[in-house]
């Protein structure tokens, strides 16, 4: 009897302990738990790959058929390459390389190379300082090398960038070096170094969408003798056929008022060809 009485409170105590609630687990801050990376398909494309910088250079190649008269009467192919910096707001950097080569009955009848480089430092201002240089070689002008380089100022008196209409005039002082090809009458290669003034006129106008006419002239007299001068004039038109292909027509006049012995003063070129923009 005693054993039964003692067993009853022991059973009740066990039931009370079983009914006591379990305290909740302590919450762990979410910022301390590493989160799995999001699926690859949910990452924005702009964040997945960094944008590639666009090409800062604009390159155009020209191939044309040329009809030339002057020191030689011939027909030949002309090739050229133009490079320009696309950011025209900070500065304008333009380079050009042009070459002509032709043969007639196995004989070389034309071989000319011309290159120029111009840098305008304040293109958006009416007045802009600039640097300029050019070089030319032509066997039929007895010109082994002619190099000119210098600095000056450009004044833009008409500028409509939205329709690519512009006109400017500039004045520069150049250092000029000339070396001529030797002949039987002159077995040595005469050369001279001198200073020249350079007056440059540039104009461009859009006639309608896709059609542009342009003109560039250089008048470069010796600094103390205006009658001894070089003249180069280039006038042409460009018609867009596609976004990257254009038809070009141009006329070029090159004059040396005091040419070497046996050389005509004028060379004229009429060329028609195509321009490819890269």
Q: Is residue 273 part of a domain?
A: yes
The mean pLDDT of 154-176, rounded to a whole number, is 92
Q: Is residue 32 part of a domain?
A: no
Domain of residue 191, CATH code:
2.40.160.40
Give the SS3 label for residue 61. strand
Q: Is residue 30 part of a domain?
A: no
| Number of domain units in the chain | 1
pLDDT over 80 (residue 200): yes
Q: Is residue 268 part of a domain?
A: yes
pLDDT in tens, 104-142: 767 887 889 999 999 999 988 999 999 999 999 999 999
Count other C-beta atoms under 10 Å from residue 188's C-beta: 8
Beta bridge partners of 205: 213
CB 143 within 8 A of CB 136: yes
pLDDT in tens, 80-92: 999 999 888 889 9
Can you give the pLDDT at residue 129?
A: 97
Q: Is residue 17 part of a domain?
A: no
Query: The domain containing residue 124 runs over which residues?
Result: 65-277
| Mean of all residue pLDDT scores within the chain | 83
Sign of the CA dihedral with 252 first, then 257, 260, and 265 last: positive
pLDDT in tens, 40-80: 445 444 444 445 547 889 999 999 876 666 776 667 888 99
Beta bridge partners of 101: 77, 111
pTM higher than the cut 0.85: no
Structure confidence at residue 35 as a pLDDT band (50, 70, 90): low
Beta bridge partners of 138: 112, 143
Q: Is residue 183 part of a domain?
A: yes
Q: Residue 276 and residue 80: Cα distance in Å, rounded?
A: 11
Q: Is residue 250 part of a domain?
A: yes
Q: Is residue 249 part of a domain?
A: yes
């Amino acid at each position: 009897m005693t054993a039964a009485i003692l067993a009853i409170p022991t059973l009740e105590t066990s039931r009370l302990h079983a009914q006591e609630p379990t305290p909740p687990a302590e919450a762990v801050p979410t910022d301390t738990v590493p989160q799995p990376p999001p699926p690859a398909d949910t990452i924005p494309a702009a964040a997945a790959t960094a944008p590639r910088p666009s090409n800062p250079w604009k390159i155009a190649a020209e191939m044309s058929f040329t009809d030339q008269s002057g020191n030689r009467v011939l027909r030949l192919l002309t090739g050229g390459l133009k490079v320009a910096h696309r950011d025209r707001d900070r500065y304008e950097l333009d380079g050009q390389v042009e070459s002509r080569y032709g043969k007639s009955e196995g004989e070389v009848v034309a071989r000319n190379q011309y290159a120029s480089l111009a840098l305008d430092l304040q293109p958006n201002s009416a007045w802009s300082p600039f640097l300029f240089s050019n070089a030319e070689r032509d066997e039929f002008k007895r010109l082994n090398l002619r190099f000119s380089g210098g600095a000056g100022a450009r004044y833009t008196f008409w500028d409509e960038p939205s329709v690519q209409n512009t006109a400017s005039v500039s004045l520069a002082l150049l250092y000029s070096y000339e070396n001529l090809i030797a002949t039987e009458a002159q077995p040595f290669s005469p050369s001279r170094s001198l200073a020249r003034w350079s007056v440059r006129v540039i104009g461009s106008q859009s006639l309608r969408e896709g059609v542009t006419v342009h003109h560039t002239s250089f008048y470069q007299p010796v600094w103390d003798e205006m009658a001894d001068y070089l003249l180069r004039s280039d006038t042409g038109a460009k018609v867009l056929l596609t976004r990257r292909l254009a038809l070009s027509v141009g006329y070029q006049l090159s004059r040396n008022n005091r040419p070497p012995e046996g050389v005509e003063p004028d060379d004229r070129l009429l060329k028609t060809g195509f321009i490819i923009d890269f």
